[in-house]
Amino acid sequence: MTIKDDFLYPRSSYHGDFTPENLLFNANLQEFTQRASLICGLETSGKISPEEAYDQLKKLWKKLKKSRKNLNFDK
* HEC sequence for 2-17: CHHHHHHCCCCCCCCC
Counting Cβ atoms within 10 Å, is residue 24 exposed (0-12), middle (13-18) or buried (19+)?
Answer: middle
Q: What are phi and psi of 41, to 5 degrees?
A: -65, -40
Give residue 52's pLDDT: 98
In a domain, 36, yes or no: yes
Dump pLDDT digits (tens) for 3-50. 776 666 666 777 778 888 888 998 899 999 999 999 999 999 999 999
In a domain, 52, yes or no: yes
Give residue 15's pLDDT: 79
In a domain, 28, yes or no: yes
In a domain, 45, yes or no: yes
- In this predicted structure, the answer to whether residue 1 has a pLDDT above a threshold of 60 is no
DSSP string, 22-40: HHHHHHHHHHHHHHHHHHH
In a domain, 37, yes or no: yes
Give residue 74's pLDDT: 61
DSSP state of 47: S
Residue 60 one-letter amino acid:
L
The total number of structural domains that make up the chain: 1
Q: What is the pTM of this model?
A: 0.76
Domain containing residue 63: 19-70
Q: Tell me the average pLDDT across 61-69.
A: 94
